[in-house]
Each structure stands twice: as structure tokens, then as C-alpha cells.
Amino acid sequence: MRRFSLIFTLCLVALAADAQDFVLKAGTKVTVYMPPVNEPVASTALQMLAGDMETVLGVEIVPVKKEKKAQVVAVLDDCLPREGFRLYVEKGRLIIRGADAHGLAYGLLEVSRLMGVSPWEWWADCLPTRETAVRLPQGFTSQQSPAIAYRGIFINDEDWGILPWSGGVIGSETNERIFQLMLRLRANYYWPSMHEVSTPFFTIEGNREMAHKYGIYVGGSHCEPMGTSPAKEWKMRGVGDYNYVTNKENVQKFWAERLDEVKGQDMVYTIGMRGVHDGSMQGVKTKEEKLYYLQQVIDDQRAMLAAHVNPDVTQIPQVFVPYKEVLDIYHAGLKVPADVTLMWTDDNYGYIRHFPDSIERSRRGGNGLYYHISYWGRPHDYLWLGTFLPDLMRQQLTEAYRLGIRQMWILNVGDIKPAEYQVEDFLNMAWEGVEKYDEQTALRLFLEREFGDTLADTLSSIVTENYCLAFDRKPEHMGGTRVEESDRQYWNTFRPIDGWSREDVAQRVVAYQRLSDAVEALEGQVPEHRKDAYFQLVKYPVQAAAQMNFKFLVPERSAEAYDSIVALTHIYNSGPVWMSHPKWKGIMDMAPRKLAVFGKVEEPLIYPEAKPETILFESDTWLSVRLGEERTFTFESAASEVDAEIRLLPNHPVVGDRLTFSVSVDGGEPQVFDYQTYDRSEEWKQNVLRNYALRRMTLPLSSSPQNRSQGAGGLHTLTFKALTEGVYLRRISISR
């Protein structure tokens, strides 16, 4: 991202061009030489670049057959890393060298970026600015290659957004728009939508061809093996139960038909098996049975891939996803072939459940990651507003990258909108690597690109605070309700948020009001051609989140806040006009799954007064405390003991299976605490809804304080120590 900012500045400098500079002037023609390339993605990217040049400059691309006659030269160079490119200016010409067809495509579309074309030019109406000229100076160069081999997105929980917007079928027209976005974001790996309401990807005419045109590797989620989509497809052509124990022959036939159908397609085959739709494997009950039959499934699938795709099965890209209960089966001794990528997952709320050990890191197939910024399920969905905290994603991806998860990254993006920034952020990290990635710089550059330098700092502060407020409690979780619990009536009843006081509520309301007012006031400074983009990327997410909080926290404004959400959502779905009808009609549902939390609040929620306490440490995010590191805090108290409350990031262990820390006062005996959670325990549910783990303790104070403050009690020290790797502190407070 830092590289992009520098290059973008160079491009738009309005200076007299040196004779050796590369210059594009409005209304002219530019000659381009690109020899034939086997894969169509390069010519697809050239067509997209031609459209961008026409939009920005009114420039027409003219192909030529001789390199020496071309102003732009695009050629292959097998000395570059896979999918990498080198872009440079030499004697007034722009040279683009790509390692392969993908690298050439990314290099061509880097030129679009240099002209100021946003990857979101279509998907968020970030309309390009018309320029009179674009210039790159002699000596300019940019060389890039991906940090992660397979980088992609998963369209999921599509029932209330992208599916109705697409007219009920996510076909080749919609997929082409998705693939254009992916190509601009340098992504190459796609999991299509897979709910029962969706027509399976490979059963729709034109989808396969569209993926090939854009150089997209098609795969499938953890419950979609061998290129199939059982949730809908098994009912269409399966026979009997989707049960490998009792109906093995028909299940294998179901898989084999797809393998024959997609021969020659760029694929990443998911292996393994779960239930028809995101449930446990059918026909098995005990852990021993699950292990035995899942091992049989994998062994049989490998034989099928060798028979139907490539006799050398080790040359076929494959991935195994130990998601939910499958992780326990893997740990019980499942043998996954060494050439298969192990794709680890988060717990659906952004906390990665398993990091590879040294043996797993050494595997030929490498390691991958399946990550969520949108989720349907327990303890509560978050499908609406795209408020996932980018800092948390960066922190978890940095840990993943450091520990060798570098082969495949795929992001559950829901309906893409309104999580545009997180989608780009994830794919930028997958392209660039994360060692030196600065989240705050990345966000500012995103906003600068879309809305200009003048607004970028202010908007960055607003958007960051909006994410931080949602980290404390997502808008979808404001009602204190839950899903998929046995007592539905109880969990559909609104209740105050645990641990919040009237003072907390008042501060939150003030903060949201300030943000809402600010985005309203700034709208007038947004260039006219970016006002639709501003509404989608800033105004709707911030103001809808604000109104959701007002609905629950300000009784006298609750009804008005509900109506405001309705009105904002109507505006979203009503514009902009595109081909004589609203472009985004049906894309934004203010009540996905029609859950209770999205309804009106009939009774006010009563919050208690704040308890007296002293805060020793607090962050909006967290403080990393390395293994063995101590952090010391001082406080005053005349009591013989105090109650302490420790809040920590509710992540999972980085090494081993424990997360522990100790606390001591005045050099006394440390108390040790473990806060790792397992599966979907009650504690885990509370943790992910509030984004902190909690431990409370009573600490005896020394009867001989180190010193005394005049007119006060004794001065004491509290020492916090990390006993395992992966401890992140959010807050320490004491009372009494």
C-alpha cells in the first residue's frame, strides 16, 4: 500500500514531460504489443485496461505486431516469480513483463491503478476521475509478486444480498463482475455460493468459461468435496442418502460425474466430507467411527482423482479443511497426504483455532487459511454491516503468515458488500505479505484513493472508531439475543449487554452521534462523482451502526432509529440508476434471516450504575505480552485486598493447547490463570460476542507497602506476566 501511494503521486504530477518519460495524453491513441499468450487472462486484462484508458483519458489502444513500434510492450519473462510482474519505463516506453499469464494480467492492471482507477470502480461506484494526461518518469520501476500462492474469496450466506440482487441465480453475468473485481484485487481462487437457495456453479451455463477467461481457480468450501455442491446438488442428481457408510457407491458416482465434467478446468479440489450442508458427516457417531470413515473417504477420493483427472495425483491442487468438528478428527490421527494443503480455520469470529507445528509447516502441500469477516451461526450472526475489525484480521494473519500459512488464503466475504475495505485489505496482505503491513496506513490510503487527500485523515479516524466501537459490540449483537439455542423464546428476548453500565452506554451514544454527524457534514466535501461511493463505503455503514445502537440504548429515540435504518437501507437499494433501474436493488437487507435483533424495541433496556473501580490499563484493541514478559502497574489502596478484573483478547493458543498468565501484587506469590476455551462452550460464546476473555480474582495486598502517598493509602504494584505465547491484554481494573 505504501508503494501504491508513491507511484500514484508520480503518475499525476502535472509537469512538462521529459522526452524519455512515458506519457499518455487525453484523446490520443497508444500502440500496444502483446504476443499471444496461452491463457486468456492476459488478453482479458488488456481489454479491461483499454476500457480504463478510455474512461480516464479517452485514449484508444491500438495493437501492433512489432515490439519496436509499440509504446506499451507486454511480454512473458520466466525469470520472475510465479504470477509476478515487473513494470518499468525505458526510453519513453512502458514495459510490462509477466512471469506467466497471471503475472502479465496483474502487471497490465497495475497500469490502471497508476491511472487512479479503483478496484471498486464498479462494485462500489468509485468512478474514475477524468485526466488530461498521465505520466510515468524515465527510470520508474515496480516489481511485485504474491506472498500467498492461492488468494481468494468465498461468496456465502447469499440468501439476503447477492442472490436476490442477481435475480435469484448467481450466473455468468454476476460471476463475471465478481471475477473482474478479483482480477483487479490480484485474487485467483474462488469458492462459489453454496446454500440450498443457490443454483450450483457448475450447473449454470457459462460459469466455467467465465472462470477460465479471468484466470480463476475454482474450488469449494469445507463441505463441498470434489467440485460438487451437495447442499443443492445432491437433491438434483444424488441417489439415496449422502452417506458414505451406507451409500458409498452412489456418493462416489456423484463425485465422479463432476470430475469428468470439469476436466481441463483450473481447479483446487477440496477433499474430505461433511454433511450435506455444513453439518457433521452422516452415518458416524463415535470419534473412532468418524476417523475410520473420513480416512476411507480421503483415500478413495485420491484414487478417484488419479483415475479421472491426473494419474500423478500429487500434481493436482488439493486442500483439506479441518473445520469445526473435523479439527478434532484430524487431531485424533487422520492421515492427510503430504501434497495436500492443510487449510486451517478461524472460529468464525476471527480467531484462528490452530497454527501449524514444525511437522505441518514442512509438508509439501503447505498450509492454508479459511477466514471469516461475515458469519451465519452460533452464538449470533453478523451478516449485515461489514464491521469486522481490520486490526484483528491483520494481527491474526500476521501470526498465520509468521507460522508458515502461506499456500492458500480464502476469505468468507458474505455478499462482498458492505465489507469492501476488509476484502481489499485481506487480499492486499495475501499479495504483499504481512511482515511490515501497517493497518492504519492501509486504511488511510484506501480512503485517500477513493475520496482524496483532504478528507483522508478525518475519514480514517471516523472509520477506525466505527470499527473499534463494533469490536466492543457488533451492531448485530446489540440486542443480547442469540441464535440456535434450545430456549428460543428466552434468547429472542432483548436484554442489556452484560458488563455495561449507564456510563458506558452514555459514552457509546455520544461517540456514535459524533461519528454520524461527522459523516453527514463531510458529505458536502465529497466530489460529485464519488457521492454514491461515499454512501456505500462510509455513510451507510457508520450511520446504520449508529442508529442500531440508538435503537437499543436511547429509549426515546428507539422508534425513530428503527425508521432511520429503514430509510438508509431504502436509499442503498434505490441507487444509483444503472441501465434504467437501481443498480443495487436487493443487495442490502437490513434484517438478514429476520432475526429478533433487527426488529423494533418495545421495552427500554435498563442498565445499572457503574461500579467504583480503578482502571490500570485499557486499550481500544490490545497489548501484546510476549512469552515470559512482565508488565507492571501501580495503584493506591489502604485495603488488605483488592478485586481485580483482567480482560484479554479471546484468541486461541499459538503453540500447544493452553493460554496462561499470572498476576501478583507487591512481589507476592503469583496466581496462575488459564483462559483457553473449547468448541462452542458458554464461555467461548460470551467471549466472541464481547471480544474479550475475562478472569476475576481477589489479590491480597502487602501489609508493608513500599511507600506511602500523603493522605492516601499504600502504593502497590500489580505484575502481569504471560506464561504462554499468544497473550494479548485488553484491560486491567481493580475495585475495593
Tell me: pLDDT of 707 over 50.
Answer: no
Q: Rounded distance, CA 415 to CA 435, Å?
A: 29
Instruction: Enumerate residues 6+ apart whose C-beta is below 8 A from 274.
Output: 222, 223, 280, 281, 323, 326
Q: How far is CA 725 from CA 399, 627, 651, 654, 655, in A?
A: 11, 5, 11, 6, 7
pLDDT band at 633 (very low <50, low <70, confident <90, very high): very high
Q: Rounded distance, CA 194 to CA 218, Å?
A: 13
- Residue 706 has a pLDDT of 53
The topology (CATH level 3) of 459-598 is Methane Monooxygenase Hydroxylase; Chain G, domain 1 (1.20.58)
**Minimum mean pLDDT range among 197-201, 442-446, 576-580, 650-654:** 576-580
Tell me: pLDDT of 298 over 60.
Answer: yes
- Residue 7 has a pLDDT of 43
- Residue 277 has a pLDDT of 81
Looking at the chain, which residues constitute the CATH 3.30.379.10 domain(s)? 2-144
CA-based nearest residue to 385, from 482, 516, 450, 476: 476
Element (H, E) at 260: helix 248-261
Written as one letter, the residue type at 154 is: F
Cell triple for 715:
502504593
Written as one letter, the residue type at 278 is: D
pLDDT band at 147 (very low <50, low <70, confident <90, very high): very high
Q: Rounded distance, CA 111 to CA 452, Å?
A: 19
- Residue 502 has a pLDDT of 98
> Cis peptide leading into 418, omega within 30 of 0?
yes
Tell me: pLDDT of 11 over 60.
Answer: no
Tell me: pLDDT of 2 over 70.
Answer: no
Tell me: pLDDT of 17 over 60.
Answer: no
Instruction: Enumerate residues 6+ apart whose C-beta is below 8 A from 707.
Output: 714, 715
Tell me: pLDDT of 3 over 50.
Answer: no
* CA 627, chain centre distance (Å): 28
- Residue 552 has a pLDDT of 98
483 near 595, Cβ under 8 Å? Answer: yes
3-state secondary structure at position 644? strand
Percentage of the chain beyond pLDDT 70 is 96
Cα angle, residue 365 at apex, residues 360 and 371 outer, rounded to 5°: 75
Q: What is the mean pLDDT of residues 40-56?
A: 98
Q: Rounded distance, CA 20 to CA 37, Å?
A: 29
Instruction: Enumerate residues 6+ apart whose C-beta is below 8 A from 309.
Output: 259, 263, 269, 316
484 near 377, Cβ under 8 Å? Answer: yes
Terminal C-alpha separation, the chain: 48
User: What is the CATH architecture of 614-735?
Assistant: Sandwich (2.60)
Cell triple for 35:
504476443
* Widest CA span in the chain: 89
Helices 439-451 and 420-432, axial angle in degrees (round to 10) = 120
Q: What is the mean pLDDT of residues 485-509?
A: 97
Backbone dihedral region for residue 277 (phi beyond 0: left; psi -120 to 50: alpha; all else: beta): beta
Written as one letter, the residue type at 293 is: Y
Looking at the chain, which residues constitute the CATH 2.60.120.1620 domain(s)? 614-735
- Residue 191 has a pLDDT of 98
CA-based nearest residue to 297, from 283, 311, 278, 310: 283
Tell me: pLDDT of 692 over 50.
Answer: yes
Question: How many Cβ atoms sit within 10 Å of the Cβ of residue 610?
Answer: 13
- Residue 19 has a pLDDT of 76
Phi, psi angle pair for 402, to nearest 5° = -60, -35
* Residue pLDDT, tens place only, 606-620: 999 999 999 999 999
185 near 45, Cβ under 8 Å? Answer: no
* Residue pLDDT, tens place only, 149-178: 999 999 999 999 999 999 999 999 999 999
Written as one letter, the residue type at 662 is: S
Using only C-alpha atoms, what is the Rg of the chain? 27
Q: What is the CATH superfamily name and number for domain 2-144?
A: Chitobiase/beta-hexosaminidase domain 2-like (3.30.379.10)
- Residue 276 has a pLDDT of 87
* Residue pLDDT, tens place only, 83-132: 999 999 999 999 999 999 999 999 999 999 999 999 999 999 999 999 99
pTM of the prediction? 0.96
Tell me: pLDDT of 705 over 70.
Answer: no
Beta strand pairing call for 614-625 and 727-735: antiparallel
Instruction: Enumerate residues 6+ apart whose C-beta is below 8 A from 602.
Output: none
Strands (E), 423-554: none
Q: Rounded distance, CA 383 to CA 414, Å?
A: 7
Q: What is the mean pLDDT of residues 33-40?
A: 96
* Residue pLDDT, tens place only, 517-551: 999 999 999 999 999 999 999 999 999 999 999 99
* CA 575, chain centre distance (Å): 26
Q: What is the mean pLDDT of residues 20-30?
A: 97
- Residue 15 has a pLDDT of 46
Q: Which residues of 268-300 are buried (b: 16+ CB within 10 A; e: fewer)?
A: bbbbbbbebbbeebbbbeeeeebbebbeebbeb
| Cα atoms in the Cβ-side hemisphere of radius 13 Å centred on 143 | 9
Q: How far is CA 716 from CA 237, 488, 643, 706, in A?
A: 71, 48, 14, 7
Strands (E), 686-726: 693-700, 707-708, 714-722
Question: How many Cβ atoms sit within 10 Å of the Cβ of residue 235?
Answer: 11
Tell me: pLDDT of 708 over 70.
Answer: no
Select the more confidently predicted residue: 263 or 319: 319
102 near 83, Cβ under 8 Å? Answer: yes
Q: Rounded distance, CA 169 to CA 343, Å?
A: 29
Looking at the chain, which residues constitute the CATH 1.20.58.2150 domain(s)? 459-598
160 near 593, Cβ under 8 Å? Answer: yes
User: What is the CATH architecture of 150-437?
Assistant: Alpha-Beta Barrel (3.20)
Tell me: pLDDT of 5 over 70.
Answer: no
3-state secondary structure at position 13? coil
* Residue pLDDT, tens place only, 399-414: 999 999 999 999 999 9
Looking at the chain, which residues constitute the CATH 3.20.20.520 domain(s)? 150-437
Written as one letter, the residue type at 377 is: G
